[in-house]
Structure 1
């Protein structure tokens, strides 16, 4: 009897769990009355004017949003999801800034228990996906994203980059790569750069770029790492980076910095996405947060960045042809000079 009872309980628990898995909790969609809509739009406009890295254009966008609100254009956006979509569309129509929009999230921002767990960074080896030798001792590294730097990801980076240390030439595939960690981009650059400003006195660290706010204040600096562990590819052997129109953010920083530092890397493919800014996010209602580009990259060599234009390839080819083109260029560079 006791055994039968426990089996029955176990079956009921399995059925209950299965039913729960088939019926997930529906995403929240906050209802917004007129005063709340006005608060959200006006507060977003205020933050745009006060925080955006490009204050002149941001003020024009903010004034446009206020005018639309006064004209009743947001009267039909009665939920958080609808208002976020409409306001973001209006912002983009005036200013194509990928780091500036009104964001809807499907949970209560004020309840930490509802926030989704962060992704497991090591699940894909921190975006450090693949190494192989293509022939003629040409190394191939595939990076899908630039993960945050901590002890585990730094150790993975050392192992990953060390594999290419003895290669005669190196191709790094950044097609479709993204990620927010410019720190990881700087760390990986440590394996590919040496100080070329002097033949005698060489610094162990190279200042690549900064993130700078609207007043010119440096909010973050990105340097190569002194004595990064593992074997280094070095700063002189042929290096090629593959990019496409979906290469974005930290991957663009990596490509731009290596291209501009004494033309260290040859960029092959199509112009990248053109996203050189970092956004600040602030809650404005239960399910809405303002996203505003608060800083932008400034490269130490060019004093510019890739915002809007993207990183421009040295060799423009379709994304599908980029690898073959880079292999041919690498092979040509390795042929003995006559």
Structure 2
């Protein structure tokens, strides 16, 4: 009788714990954006280690969860965290190429984070992303999704499930929403005390969307690069943010290798908006219209239709259809306890 081979469990020994924590703290001290916070993290984590707080943890995943909780509690930084890799990361060039090819295939199967693009009733464009990846690998998909929205009467960007990503993709999408180059953000990097300015692109493929009314949907899960998108558009008065206050992570960085199975995500910079001279770290992006994430899309559709009825030159063509859809949405929202009149007053539509 054939027996299923027993999977060898990766067990965390005391020596390995010591090795992982020691190396992790060295990397944090060397590159974390705020040196004084890195020192505080080192002191407290070493104290916990020496006190035996972690000694009974033998499961590596649980160990990472507890260390990450401690790191974030000390630093108040949601980007800082330890991760366990069951399969070691590739080291040879051949293995790295295979790993990169596999990643690209996986991203393609998920359409590079572009989850849905469609026309909602009333000719409202709807654009949902769950992640912003590098423009080098998903730029064509981004451009195609934005060009699909060319003939819509207004656009809703749904970031309620978006956990962040690449600043270059944020800039690419924003490039379609402005006329001319616009200064979006600055990244202050610890290494070299360098400042990197982020601007919209001077050239886009297809037609501009700068004349479209824009709404952005957010939730408590909206994080990092997705918050960058929402914060920039809010600061530039280019969009109405609807939903929940976002998670609050404004420190970009990346994973640094500890050993074959452990890696630590370390923020090495911070975003500074050129208009507010501030960012959303620890506080999130506050919406203009605060409603639960489940109602954010319907509220946005309703507000857009009310604005179109009142201000759009296409009202003579679409007015009756817009009114019918708006009335249906209003009825649904009122039944769900949403104070639509109060919301209309918030953005001066009555």
TM-score bracket, shorter-length normalisation: 0.7 to 0.9
Q: Does 1:132 align with 2:118?
A: yes
- 1:231 is matched with 207
Q: Does 1:70 align with 2:56?
A: no
- 1:301 is matched with 275
Shift of 1:78: 4.3
Contact 2:164–2:222 (CA under 8 A) maintained in structure 1? no
Judged with a 3 Å threshold, the aligned counterparts in structure 2 of structure 1 residues 23 and 231 are, in CA distance, closer, same or farther, namely: farther
Shift of 1:271: 0.8
Q: Relative CO higher for 1 or 2, CA cutoff 8 Å, sep ≥ 6?
A: 1
Rounded to whole Å, the distance in 2 between the matches of 1:23 and 1:185 is 48
- 1:260 is matched with 235
Contact 2:129–2:161 (CA under 8 A) maintained in structure 1? no
DSSP-derived class of the 1:139 partner: strand
Q: Taking structure 2 as the reference length, what is the TM-score of the superposition?
A: 0.78
- 1:172 is matched with 157
Rounded to whole Å, the distance in 2 between the matches of 1:214 and 1:79 is 34
DSSP-derived class of the 1:335 partner: helix
Rounded to whole Å, the distance in 1 between the matches of 2:91 and 2:139 is 33
- Contiguous gaps of at least 5 residues in structure 1: 1-18, 195-203
Shift of 1:183: 0.9
- 1:247 is matched with 222
DSSP-derived class of the 1:281 partner: strand
Contact 2:159–2:218 (CA under 8 A) maintained in structure 1? yes
Shift of 1:37: 2.8
DSSP-derived class of the 1:310 partner: coil
Q: Does 1:222 align with 2:198?
A: yes
Rounded to whole Å, the distance in 2 between the matches of 1:186 and 1:310 is 20
Q: Taking structure 1 as the reference length, what is the TM-score of the superposition?
A: 0.80
Rounded to whole Å, the distance in 2 between the matches of 1:144 and 1:37 is 34
- 1:213 is matched with 189
- 2:245 is matched with 271
DSSP-derived class of the 1:90 partner: helix
Shift of 1:250: 1.7
Contact 1:164–1:232 (CA under 8 A) maintained in structure 2? no
Rounded to whole Å, the distance in 1 between the matches of 2:8 and 2:134 is 28
Q: Does 1:324 align with 2:298?
A: yes
- Contiguous gaps of at least 5 residues in structure 2: 312-349
Shift of 1:110: 6.3
Contact 1:138–1:171 (CA under 8 A) maintained in structure 2? yes
Contact 1:249–1:276 (CA under 8 A) maintained in structure 2? yes
Rounded to whole Å, the distance in 2 between the matches of 1:25 and 1:129 is 38
Rounded to whole Å, the distance in 2 between the matches of 1:132 and 1:303 is 36
Q: Does 1:142 align with 2:128?
A: yes
Shift of 1:103: 1.7
Judged with a 3 Å threshold, the aligned counterparts in structure 2 of structure 1 residues 62 and 242 are, in CA distance, closer, same or farther, namely: same
Rg bigger for which structure? Answer: 1
Q: Deviations over 1:77-131 (max 9, x none)?
A: 3464454333223223323322112221102346554996315222233222333
Judged with a 3 Å threshold, the aligned counterparts in structure 2 of structure 1 residues 24 and 303 are, in CA distance, closer, same or farther, namely: farther
Contact 1:243–1:269 (CA under 8 A) maintained in structure 2? yes
Shift of 1:318: 0.9
- 1:118 is matched with 103
Rounded to whole Å, the distance in 2 between the matches of 1:24 and 1:324 is 52
Rounded to whole Å, the distance in 2 between the matches of 1:135 and 1:82 is 47
Rounded to whole Å, the distance in 2 between the matches of 1:305 and 1:288 is 30
Judged with a 3 Å threshold, the aligned counterparts in structure 2 of structure 1 residues 136 and 86 are, in CA distance, closer, same or farther, namely: closer
